[in-house]
Amino acid sequence: MSANETRGIANRLFFRLFQTGNILQRQVQNEMGISTVQWAVLGAVCREGYEQGVSFNQLTEYLGVSRQSLDGVLKRMERENHVVRIPHPDDGRARLVQVTSTGRAYWDSLQNTITAFYEQGMKGVSFDDGASLLHLLAKLQKSLGEISLGGAGSDAQDDS
């Protein structure tokens, strides 16, 4: 495959991911009344093993979001009484994000809607295709995390 063919496929793939992300955000907001980030945060703090909370830093890493973005979402979710930030038992300067009973009840109330959303979103995608896509997206995610173009704002071209 030539460099131009590779660039063309990559351009189409990244644009399709961009479109898919935008459609996902719009449909989740329209159908469920929450943002995709709120959905992801609730899911993350409601995971088994995190009943006592999850650190802010762990949450940013797990979700792949910036500290500023997560802070804004958490402030909204705190106002809605879905999460609280509590002192970390091992580090008084750090905070844990913990789901409240209201947040847990809200998350539990979304489960049937989430299942229906997944079923409709995956219609026409076989189990094997879904598993392959999940595998390929994990590989892409890893590669994206390893990109280094020589600094922020670099045009990545060699001037020699």
The residue-averaged pLDDT of 24-37 equals 94
Beta sheet of 54-55, edge-to-edge order: 54-55, 91-99, 83-88
Q: Are residues 41 and 70 in the same domain?
A: yes
pLDDT tens-place string over residues 44-75: 999 999 989 999 999 999 999 999 999 999 99
For 85, residues 6+ apart whose C-beta sits below 8 A from its C-beta are: 56, 74, 78, 95, 96, 97, 98
pLDDT tens-place string over residues 69-91: 999 999 999 999 999 999 988 88
Domain of 16 in residue numbering reads as 1-33
User: Could you give the number of structural domains in the chain?
Assistant: 2
Q: Are residues 103 and 113 in the same domain?
A: yes
Q: Are residues 38 and 115 in the same domain?
A: yes
Domain final residue, candidates 119, 135, 150: 119
Percent of the chain's residues with pLDDT above 70: 94
Strands 83-88 and 91-99: antiparallel
Residue 109 lies in a domain: yes
Closest residue by Cα to residue 54 from 42, 36, 66: 42
Neighbours of 35 (CB within 10 A): 14
Residue 136 lies in a domain: no
In this prediction, residue 152 carries a pLDDT of: 61
